[in-house]
Amino acid sequence: MKNNINTKKDMDIELSNEAVVPTQVGQDLKNSLLIISVVANLFIFTAWVVLQVTSQFDSQFANMLFNR
């Protein structure tokens, strides 16, 4: 029958695993916010380029922003 005695090494491994979880959650949150920011910036940049290249959408864009 195996003894259920926790050694110092086992306790260190358990503590290190518990310490990784908050760090990983923080990194995942940071990465997701960066991805959302990049996608939003690409959308804004693409819209700006389209408005600079052609004048076809100027009146529609102005009506969307400044609807009276």
Q: What is the domain partition of the chain in residue ranges? A: 9-65
pLDDT attached to residue 36: 98
**Going residue by residue through the chain (68 aa), what tens digit of pLDDT does each one get?**
555 665 655 555 655 555 566 778 889 999 999 999 999 999 999 988 888 888 887 888 888 878 86
Separation CA 38–CA 42 (nearest Å)? 6
- C-alpha atoms less than 13 angstroms from C-alpha of 59 in its C-beta half-sphere: 1
pLDDT attached to residue 24: 83
